[in-house]
Amino acid sequence: MVLCTAQEARDLDRYTIEVLGMPGAALMENAGQNATRMLLKRFSEAKRAVVLSGTGNNGGDGFVVARSLFSAGWKVSVWVSGQVEKMSLETRAFYQVCRNMGLAVSFFDGDRKEELLTDLQKADVVVDALLGTGVRGALREPVRCMVQMVNEAEPGFVLALDAPTGVDTDTGAILGEAIQADLTVSFATWKWCHYLLPASEFCGEVRVVDIGMPEEAIHHQPPQTWVNDPSLWHDHLTPRSPWSHKGTYGHLLVLGGSKGMLGAAYLSGMAALKSGVGMVTIGVPHGQEASMATKVTEALVWGWPDEGSGLFIGDFPSDWEERFSRFHVVTAGPGLGRFSGEKAWLERLLHCTDGPLVLDADALNILSSDLSMLQFRKKPTILTPHPGEMARLIGGTVKDVEASRHRVAKELAEKTGATIVLKGSFTVIAFPDGRQVLNGTASPALAKAGSGDVLTGVLGAFLAQGIPVESAAPMAVYLHGMAGRLAVRSSDYSVLASEVIDNLGNAIHQTL
């Protein structure tokens, strides 16, 4: 499912109407009908609705909804925020149909407040068709006043068409006032405001409805952003052939597990095994080797030089070349720690891994001292920062990151040529070519130490199985989020990272 900026939505609209020849009124009729269908699913018997229509096409959708509810036996009144002359062609046509059918249509220019407020207070449902993707800047009168009155009247149920009026559909900012909706029915595609804060908190539940826009339009004008769902990568999640063997599914090296942080590397390694990789080697500082070996049975353990400190040091083992040749993928970071010579160590690692390389946790903190280390990487490099690590990578603050997650991720991906998996309320996967995938299946259960280590292992496992990063990254993020939700027994508070690992199999099975 694609996610559009206002401009991308307009381009899709225009292509569908002007190139494919679909009448705009047909799209509007479909939009209104499907929005009405969503509403009638929630209200079995006829109710009383007030539809607030703008003079743009969002308003036109509103007139279609008004007429459809009226035909379904509802009591409907429509209030318009501007004059008929200002209406778009299609909107005017559907306005006229409402008039011809005898619907009560009133024009609000700010002076009939009492009447409008009474109407709103008597309504079971208010339909917000004032502004959609055409909003520009802070709300102007009388739209602002109408939005304020809706929020004051606190109606039982508010349906917003495409987006709640008062949110900036691209940035998610609030333009003065915004309608607090219970349900937002979005047309044809997701919009950024359905994901970004604070707008997403005004949307209520969001459902995307088809409006009869041919797939051809989306293929011809592909927006850069997709919302993660199995359709993007399910052909890589196939039942296993009986003739396969462990070699078929790759060998992953997990580097980390310094003194006191053994668990992070362990979680990563076990998550990888639960995600189907053939073999895992966990590389830990020499002093940790024995204790790691007691923790794992299914993974191999490789001790790195550590001068007895239990921490990594800048040197590589003498046999590293021979050993590295065995691994298809390396993930470095879970419990890696900080150590002297860390920068040279990371530089060497970037040089000697000629397969995909996943950098997480402290490997990212080491990298943030000099991003140019990535410039000569030929193979895929995937960075999996949480907001704090991202702030260090971009030399900013967590506030900068959270203000526009998708933009900072996109910029860093284009700057470094790496794939960025920016974890958080919704995880953004930004590819170096500018495309992005947003993942909404996060669950508060994952807001816990160790869940990042699990994701690193899942991602490394899919890459080691030969799944290209364009699919492996969204697949890992989606299944990790799903395993987090499946792991919730009693409440989000009490899910352990190891329980997420235990639920990876269920998540894969359910998605299969």
Question: Would you tell me which residues interact with ligand LP7C6HRI (CB under 6 A)?
Answer: 9, 12-13, 27-28, 31, 54-61, 88, 131-140, 143, 161-162, 187-188, 211
Say whether the peptide bond before residue 142 is cis (omega within 30 degrees of 0).
yes
60 is in an annotated binding site: yes
User: Which residue has 């899709």 as its token pair?
Assistant: 12
Least distance to ligand LP7C6HRI, CB of residue 138, Å: 6
187, interface contact from ligand LP7C6HRI, K ion, none, CB < 5-8 Å by kind: ligand LP7C6HRI
128 binds K ion (CB under 5 A): yes
The verdict on 81 binding K ion (CB under 5 A) reads no
Could you tell which of K ion, ligand LP7C6HRI, none binds residue 28, using a CB distance below 5 to 8 A set by kind?
Answer: ligand LP7C6HRI
Contact 450, 408 (CB under 8 A): no
| 165 among annotated binding-site residues | yes
| Contact letters for K ion, residues 157-176 (x by CB under 5 A) | ---xx---x-----------
310 labelled binding-site residue: no
Segment interacting with K ion (CB under 5 A) among 122-130, 151-159, 238-246, 443-451: 122-130
Q: Which is nearer to ligand LP7C6HRI, 113 or 140 (CB)?
A: 140
Q: Which does 165 bind (CB under 5 to 8 A by kind): ligand LP7C6HRI, K ion, none?
A: K ion
Q: Is 136 annotated as a binding residue?
A: yes
| Partner that binds at residue 54, options K ion, ligand LP7C6HRI, none, CB closer than 5 to 8 Å by kind | ligand LP7C6HRI
- Give the Cα separation of 423 and 436 in Å (integer): 13
Q: Say whether residue 362 binds K ion (CB under 5 A).
A: no
Q: Please say which residue, 133 or 180, places its beta carbon nearer to ligand LP7C6HRI.
A: 133
* Cβ count near 183 (within 10 Å): 19
Q: Is 88 exposed, middle or buried (0-12, 13-18, 19+ CB in 10 A)?
A: middle
Report CA 66 to chain centroid distance, whole Å: 33
Q: Is the separation of the CB atoms in 158 and 182 below 8 Å?
A: yes
* 54/484 with CB nearer ligand LP7C6HRI: 54
Alpha helices in 331-421 (DSSP H): 342-352, 361-367, 387-394, 398-403, 405-416
Nearer to ligand LP7C6HRI, 108 or 187 (CB): 187
Nearest Cα neighbor of 160 from 139, 130, 188, 181 is 181
Q: Cβ of residue 160: shortest distance to K ion, in angstroms?
A: 5
Q: Which is nearer to ligand LP7C6HRI, 122 or 136 (CB)?
A: 136
* Three-state DSSP state, 83: coil
Find where tokens 């068709």 sit.
129
- Please name the amino acid found at residue 6: A
If one counts every other C-beta atom within 10 angstroms of the C-beta of residue 53, the result is 30
* Binding region for K ion (CB under 5 A) out of 80-88, 152-160, 319-327, 451-459: 152-160
Q: Edge-to-edge strand order for the sheet containing 251-255?
A: 190-191, 2-4, 225-227, 436-439, 427-430, 419-422, 381-383, 357-359, 329-332, 251-255, 279-285, 300-304
User: 261 forms bridges with which residues in the sheet?
Assistant: none
CB of 39 to K ion, least distance (A): 14
Q: Is 294 annotated as a binding residue?
A: no
Residue 27 or 459 having the CB closest to ligand LP7C6HRI: 27
CB atoms within 10 A of CB 442: 18
Q: Is 13 annotated as a binding residue?
A: no
User: If residue 75 lies in a helix (H) or strand (E), which one and from where to where?
Assistant: strand 75-80
Which of 458, 472, 438 is closest to 507 using CA atoms?
458
Q: Which does 301 bind (CB under 5 to 8 A by kind): K ion, ligand LP7C6HRI, none?
A: none
| Contacted entry of ligand LP7C6HRI, K ion, none for residue 483, CB cut-off 5 to 8 Å set by kind | none
Of the candidates 318, 305, 319, 376, the residue with the CA atom closest to the CA atom of residue 347 = 376
Is 473 flagged in the annotation as binding? Answer: no
Tell me if 193 sits within 8 A of 161, measured CB to CB: no
The binding site for AMP comprises 423-427, 452
Q: Which residues are annotated as a binding site for K(+)?
A: 58, 128, 165
| Binding footprint of K ion on the chain (CB under 5 A) | 128, 132, 160-161, 165
Q: Which residues participate in the annotated binding site for (6S)-NADPHX?
A: 57-61, 132-138, 162, 264, 335, 386, 453
**Which residues participate in the annotated binding site?**
57-61, 128, 132-138, 162, 165, 264, 335, 386, 423-427, 452-453
